[in-house]
Each structure stands twice: as structure tokens, then as C-alpha cells.
Amino acid sequence: MNSKSKVHGARLARSVCGLFLLVWLAFRSATPLLAQEHYLLPGHPDGVALLAPPPVTGSEEAAADLATARLVFKHRTRAEESRANKDAGLSLFLFAPAIGPEFKPGKFPRVEELFNRVKAEISDTINAPKNHWKRARPYEVDPHLALGKPEDNYSYPSGHSTRGTVYALLMAEIFPENRDALLAIGRDIGWDRVLIGKHFPTDVQAGRVLGQAIFHELMASPAFQRDLAEAKAEAHPAQAPIGKP
């Protein structure tokens, strides 16, 4: 083999080794995501089986639901409307008033990570009953209830009420000393949707039931319990077991 062939062979070998190293590093970095355990099993809880159907269109029950939605919408205050619009963003830091000024972005990264995982995991569970019943929203039934941008999914159950319930229960596990105030914020997140014409009261009630069921399933998950323990240790380092962060 001449010198040019030797040089070419060495360069080829280095290129192959480099490519192999890049592939290996990419696989290593992706492995935690691929292996990440889910908190909820598919179809658990089953919102369609769990919840009663919404009021039948044209029924007296549906008329009463609409009448209540109209009354609440009509008598909302500016402060309530402002709060409702803020709550619609479903930020983790809506719960800061119940916890204290130390609860702010970046201060509790494990709490934020757990919240974001739960946020992603429960979407399908919420959307399944929505897509099953396909209930129209109040402003679609009565255009006088239109306020702000329209929603891109169905009304029953309320996703905000469901999420507000789940998030409040999650935060109450991490900050039990503030439980009552946290749960009150979760309830407000749901009810505020009636104030601005996005939901009927029965949507909100159904969301609370579904939220409770979702959280019950979460608490039965070993993966969730592990991550919850880490979030608790971060929030209350003085109470963490020896050897834990």
C-alpha cells in the first residue's frame, strides 16, 4: 500500500469513528426520553365512563344551565373578568399568592418540571370526553355570551376546571400547609370560565370530578410518586430525608 492509500485509509477510519461517536452520543442523550415512564396508563381514567352525559340539548336542564351561565356572565365585575383572563393561561404561578413571594420561576425547577409533565400527560384524558360528547360552548348557543377569542375544542367537561383541580391538588401535596388556599385557586380557575362565557356550570362541575379522578390515578403511579417526592424535597429541604436533595 502506498503512502496516499495509507493516509486515505486513516482519514476514513477517523471519519467512521467520529460518526459512530456522534450516533452513540445522540442515542445516549435520547435514551432518558425514550425510557421515561408515563404517569397515566392509556385510557385511565376513562372520562366517558366516569362522567354523566351533559344536559340534553333542548331539555329543561340545558335551559337552566344556559340561564345560569347568562346570569353569571351578565353580573361579572371588571375585577372578575380580569382574573378570569389571567387564569385562562393556566400558569403554575397562579398558585403563588397561596404559597408566598418566594414561589417564582426558576426557584423550584423540580416542581416546575413535575407540573409540566403532568400538564402534558393529562391532555388526552381531558380531550377524550370532550370529543365524545361534542357539546357546544355557551357563546355558540347564545352569541351574547361571546367574549374574547373563541375556543378550538368542545365544552364538556371544562378542560380548565379539570386542570385547575389537578394542579391545585398537586400543589397541595407539595405545599400542604397552604392546601385550602391552593384548592380555592383551583376552583376559581374553573368557575372563571363561566364568568367569561366559555363554559356552562355543568362543564365546570364535570371537570372537577374528572380532575379528582385523574389525580387519584396519578397518586397510584410509582413514577409520579418518585418525582413528587423530589419536588417535595426541593420545596421543603429541611424536611428531606438524610442523603436526599
Q: In angstroms, rounded to a whole number, what is the distance separating the alpha carbons of residues 16 and 13?
A: 5
Q: What is the model's pLDDT at position 34?
A: 37
When pLDDT is cut at 50, 70 and 90, the band that residue 238 belongs to is confident
Residue-range domain boundaries for the chain: 1-35, 41-239
CB 106 within 8 A of CB 231: no
The stretch 156-165 carries a mean pLDDT of 98
Q: What is the model's pLDDT at position 16?
A: 41
Residues in the chain: 245
> What's the pTM?
0.84
CB 196 within 8 A of CB 81: yes
Q: What is the pLDDT of residues 186-222, one digit of tens each?
A: 999 999 999 999 999 999 999 999 999 999 999 999 9
Q: What is the pLDDT of residues 51-95, one digit of tens each?
A: 999 999 999 999 999 999 999 999 999 999 999 999 999 999 999
Q: What is the pLDDT of residues 205-214, one digit of tens each?
A: 999 999 999 9
Burial class for 179, CB neighbours closer than 10 Å (0-12, 13-18, 19+): middle
SS3 170: helix
When pLDDT is cut at 50, 70 and 90, the band that residue 240 belongs to is low
Architecture of domain 41-239: Up-down Bundle (1.20)
The stretch 88-117 carries a mean pLDDT of 97
Q: Report whether pLDDT(228) > 90.
A: yes
CB 96 within 8 A of CB 104: yes
Burial class for 48, CB neighbours closer than 10 Å (0-12, 13-18, 19+): middle
Q: In angstroms, rounded to a whole number, what is the distance separating the alpha carbons of residues 174 and 169?
A: 9
Question: Which has the closest alpha carbon to 49: 210, 221, 208?
Answer: 210
Percent of the chain with pLDDT over 70: 83
Residue 165: count other Cβ atoms within 10 Å of its Cβ.
26
Q: How far is CA 59 from CA 56, 66, 105, 113, in A?
A: 6, 11, 47, 44
Q: In angstroms, rounded to a whole number, what is the distance separating the alpha carbons of residues 198 and 187?
A: 15
CB 207 within 8 A of CB 162: yes
Q: What is the model's pLDDT at position 243?
A: 52
Largest Cα separation within the chain, whole Å, is: 94
Q: In angstroms, rounded to a whole number, what is the distance separating the alpha carbons of residues 88 and 84?
A: 6
